[in-house]
Amino acid sequence: MKSAIIVFPGSNREGDMARALQQAAQHQPAMVWHAERELPKGTDLVVLPGGFSYGDYLRCGAIAGRAAIMDAVRAHAERGGLVLGVCNGFQILCESGLLPGVLMRNAHLRFVCRMQYLRVEQTNSRFTHKYANRQIIKVCIAHGEGNYEADQTTIDRLEGDGRVAFRYCNAEGVLGGMANPNGSRNDIAGIFSEKKNVLGLMPHPENLIDPLVGGIDGKGLFDSLVCAA
């Protein structure tokens, strides 16, 4: 599987993402600068990594969402190519119109950086088929704007079409209350596009791929991607 990681000014998780992809695919991903206009030939997966692109100026992901390379990313997604956005990458996907809705300021106004349990809501996708249905996984989160919000029609469509990929939960898999770290609507942590070839999520699976740093629950996502391509 050939992957390309888009690097914006202020991205800071591209190295972690590259390590996770390298481990799963035995292939070094290409690093693509945001000012480029084309993706490397034969790219299967485009990744928008976490960080603080353009210092989160204006709105998180707003300026990166209109970068030169995003036209190529949009065309790749329209062709059915895979796109993964993590944290700031998820915000960029929403701002660029590749995913619906918006990520607002955390309801309690604080930046959260901690371990977080998620429930896998949809295993019928090229990103999640290596997980078990309703599997509880432990990954980490680090964001100040992860409060997913969309109008009721959009929420109903996401829920009805099985496009919620992950929800925040506690260790027992119970949703809501203190298990929701940011006030996100319906405890949504990640969503798919209509064709399920674009995934955006706030948590960082790329940081949980090595037992040395707290667990390997993030590996399922990368193993799924490798088997899909």
Partner 1 sequence: MKARVVVTLKNGVLDPQGKAIEGALTSLGVADIASIRQGKVFDIEISAQDPTQAKQNLKIACEKLLANTVIENYSIEI
- Residues near partner 1, by CB under 8 A: 58-59, 62-63, 66, 95, 100-102, 104-109, 147, 149-151, 183
Residue 18 or 188 having the CB closest to partner 1: 188
DSSP labels, 174-205? -BSGGG-SS--GGGEEEEE-TTS-EEEESSBG
Instruction: Dig out the tokens for 157 from the structure.
Output: 């469509």
Active-site annotation holds for 204? yes
Active-site annotation holds for 34? no
Q: Which one from 34, 76, 143, 204 is the annotated catalytic residue?
A: 204
3-state secondary structure labels for all residues of 51-116: ECHHHHCCCCCCCHHHCCCHHHHHHHHHCCCEEEEECHHHHHHHHCCCCCCEEECCCCCCCEEEEE
Q: Which one from 60, 87, 140, 169 is the annotated catalytic residue?
A: 87
Residue 21 or 64 having the CB closest to partner 1: 64
Query: With left for phi above 0 and alpha for psi between -120 and 50, is residue 35 left, alpha or beta?
Result: alpha
Residue 61 or 220 having the CB closest to partner 1: 61
Interhelix angle 14-25/219-228, rounded to 10 degrees, is 60
Min dist. Cβ of residue 59 to partner 1 (A)? 6
Which one, of 105, 119, 188, lies nearest residue 154 by Cα?
188
Min dist. Cβ of residue 66 to partner 1 (A)? 6
Strand, helix or coil at 35? Answer: coil
Q: Which one from 95, 121, 145, 206 is the annotated catalytic residue?
A: 206
Min dist. Cβ of residue 173 to partner 1 (A)? 27
Active-site annotation holds for 143? no
Min dist. Cβ of residue 204 to partner 1 (A)? 23
Which residues have a catalytic role annotated?
Answer: 87, 204, 206
